[in-house]
Amino acid sequence: MQSLYGALIGVLTAGLLAGAPTPIVETADAGPPDTRPTAREFIDWKPCASDTAAECGSLRLPVDWARPTGEKFDLALARRKATDPDRRVGVLLVNPGGPGEQGVEFVRNKATAHFSADIQKRFDVIGFDPRGVGRSQPVRCSRGLLAQQPSVYPRNQAEFAELVSYNRALRQDCRRHSGPVFDHADTLSVVRDMDAIRRALGEKKINYFGHSYGTLIGQQYAEQFGDRIRAMALTANMDHSLGARDFIVSSAATAEDSFHQFVQWCDRTRSCALHGRNVTVVWDALLAKADRGEVRDPQSPHRGLTAHEITQYAFRAFYGPDWERLASYVAGLDAQEPRALRLPQPDARPGATEPTDPTPFHAVFCQDWRIRAKDYREYAKLTDAELRAAPHMRGSPRMHTAIAGCIGWPDEVNNPQHRLRITDAPTILMSHALHDPANNHAWATNAHRQTRRTTVLLTYEGSGHSVYNRNTCTRKAVDDYLLELKVPPHGSRCAATVSETTAGQ
C-alpha cells in the first residue's frame, strides 16, 4: 500500500535556511479547535548520527488530539535540505506507506536514490515516522505471544473463537507495552500530526508525496486541510470507501492478476527458471505439497513451509516485480524430493511477554477499517469469495492476514470508511500501476471518481507496486507536477517498461 506530494510557496526564514532550529510557532490560531495544541511547537534539527548530510529532529505532540493538554509523545523526523537553495520551492513531506514504513529511514537512506536530482535541488525532503511507528513511540508486542498466533484460516466456529481470543489477548498485550498511543494510531490522528509539522516548519502550504498507505494520509489531509496544500502526489492509491467484501475480493483479484502477469512473463522469457513448463500447474502442485507438509524451507531445512508462506513470498516478489527471483525460488522448491516434515508451529510457551517486537500494522489498520467478521459463518463467506477471486494465489496473503487480525477488536473505530470528499484543495496527482499486486487499480479509479474535480489519475500500464521510478514517462509526469504544477491531461497513461513486455535472451 503507497504516495503524495506537498510543497510550500512561502520562503523560510533566514534562521531556517542557515540550519538553525525551526522557529517556535504559536499554534493557538492554527487549524480547527480540536487540532490546537496549547503548547508551542518547534523542531530542533541536528545532524543525523548515521549521515550528517541529513538532519534529524523531533516534535512533541498530543497523543490524543481531542485532549491537547494531555499526554505527549515525540514524533521523529528527518530532513534533507534543498541542494539548490536559491531555487527552492518549499518542503516535500514524504510517507513511504505500510502501515508501518518509516519516513525517517526513507529520508536518511533512500530519498537520494529515489527522487530525481531536480526534486532534491528544489525541495527540502522531509520524512516522519507516523505515531506508533519507528522512532515515534512505536507500538510493541510480546515476541512470545506473537509466535503463538493460530491459523488465520479457521475451519470451524471453535477455531474462529480461538482466533478471536488470541487477537483480544494480543491487543491487550500490545496496549500494555505501547501505552496510550496504541489507541490513537489511526490515520486521522496522523493527519493532524502532519499539519502540526507544517506549523512547526512555519509553512503556509506544503507539498506531499505519499505511497500506498501513505496515500490514505494524503487523501485525508486533503479532506481536512486542503487549503494548506501546494501540490500532492499519490502513488498506489487506497480506496477508503470499501466495505469488507469489496475490500478483500478486490485485494485478492489484483494479487491473482499479478500471478498471471508472472506466468505470461515466464512463458515468453527464456531466462525464466520455469520457461517451457506449465507454470500454473507447477505452482498449484507446489502449494498442494506444502499442504501435505512436504516442502522444506531453503533457509531452515529442518522445517516445512506452508502454502501461505509460499504465496507471501510470491506476493512480495510481485512488488518489484522481481519475476526472475520468484521463478528461481519456485523451481528450487519444486525440485525438492518429497519428504514429510513437521510444519512450523507456534511457540506454545505460556506467558512469554519479553522481549517485544515493533508491531504497528494492526494498531493502525484496525482503527482505520471497520471490518469485523462476527462469527465463523460470516468469515467463511468472505474467505470463499476471496478464494474464488484468486484460486492460484489463494486470496491476498497480506490483506487476508490484515482482516484476520482485526477479528475480536471493538466494533467502534477512530477512522471508519467513508467516501472521499475533497472540497478545498488544488489539483492532486494520483498515479497507479495497472497490475499492482496489493492495491487494485480499481481503487485508484474509484478514489478519482469520488474526487473528479480535484484529482487527475495517471495510469502506468505495467506491473509492480511502485510508479514514480518505473520509467521516464512516470518520473517526468510527477516531477513536472511537483516542480511546475503542470498537471497531466485526464486519462493519461505511461507504457510499461521494455523489460516487462519483451522476452529475455
**Average model confidence (pLDDT) across the chain:** 89
Residues 151, 64: one domain? no
Query: What's the average model confidence in pLDDT over 296-317?
Result: 93
Of all residues in the chain, what percent carry a pLDDT higher than 70?
88
Residues 133, 200: one domain? yes
Q: pLDDT digit string (tens) for 158-174?
A: 999 999 999 999 999 99
Helix, strand or coil for residue 226?
helix
How does residue 126 score in pLDDT terms, banded at 50, 70 and 90? very high
Residues 383, 439: one domain? no
Cα separation, 455 vs 449, whole angstroms: 9
3 pLDDT more than 80: no
Q: pLDDT digit string (tens) for 344-402?
A: 555 444 444 479 999 999 999 999 999 999 999 999 999 999 999 999 999 999 999 99
Q: Per the domain annotation, does 116 fall within a domain?
A: yes
pLDDT of residue 9: 29
302 pLDDT more than 70: yes
504 pLDDT more than 60: no
Looking at the 3D structure of the chain, how many domains does it have? 3
pLDDT of residue 41: 73
What does DSSP say about strands 90-95 and 428-435: parallel, antiparallel, or unpaired?
unpaired
Look at residues 84, 114, 135 and name the one whose alpha carbon lies nearest to residue 5.
Answer: 114
Q: Per the domain annotation, does 254 fall within a domain?
A: no
Query: What's the average model confidence in pLDDT over 106-132?
Result: 97
275 pLDDT more than 90: yes
A 10 A CB-CB count for 475 gives 18
203 pLDDT more than 90: yes
Residues 47, 98: one domain? yes
Q: Per the domain annotation, does 475 fall within a domain?
A: yes
Instruction: Evaluate the omega torsion of the peptide bond into residue 321 and state whether it is cis, within 30 degrees of 0.
Output: yes
Helix, strand or coil for residue 41?
strand
Residues 28, 102: one domain? yes
Q: Per the domain annotation, does 3 fall within a domain?
A: no
pLDDT of residue 502: 56
Residue 110 lies in domain: 14-137+182-241+418-501
Look at residues 142, 66, 134 and name the one whose alpha carbon lies nearest to residue 357.
Answer: 142
Query: What's the average model confidence in pLDDT over 166-192?
Result: 97
Which cell numbers hold the place of 476?
517526468
Residues 189, 290: one domain? no
Q: pLDDT digit string (tens) for 476-497?
A: 999 999 999 999 999 999 999 8
pLDDT of residue 61: 97
Which residue, 288, 309, 334, sits at the end of a domain?
334
Query: What's the average model confidence in pLDDT over 124-132?
Result: 98
Q: Per the domain annotation, does 7 fall within a domain?
A: no
**Can you tell me which residue has the cell 492495491?**
439
pLDDT of residue 301: 85
Residues 355, 456: one domain? no
Residues 147, 29: one domain? no
Q: Per the domain annotation, does 252 fall within a domain?
A: no
85 pLDDT more than 80: yes
Q: Per the domain annotation, does 341 fall within a domain?
A: no
The CB-side HSE value for 347 (13 A sphere, CA atoms) comes to 11
pLDDT of residue 341: 57
Strands of 361-498, DSSP E: 428-435, 455-463, 493-494
Residues 122, 264: one domain? no
Residues 20, 82: one domain? yes
Residues 75, 207: one domain? yes
Residues 46, 101: one domain? yes
Which residue, 287, 307, 334, sits at the end of a domain?
334
Cα separation, 157 vs 455, whole angstroms: 45
A 10 A CB-CB count for 434 gives 17
CATH of the domain at 67: 3.40.50.1820
When comparing pLDDT for 32 and 281, which is higher? Answer: 281
Query: What's the average model confidence in pLDDT over 80-87?
Result: 97
pLDDT of residue 310: 97
Look at residues 226, 209, 216, 203 and name the one whose alpha carbon lies nearest to residue 479.
Answer: 209
Query: What's the average model confidence in pLDDT over 233-249?
Result: 97
Q: Per the domain annotation, does 1 fall within a domain?
A: no
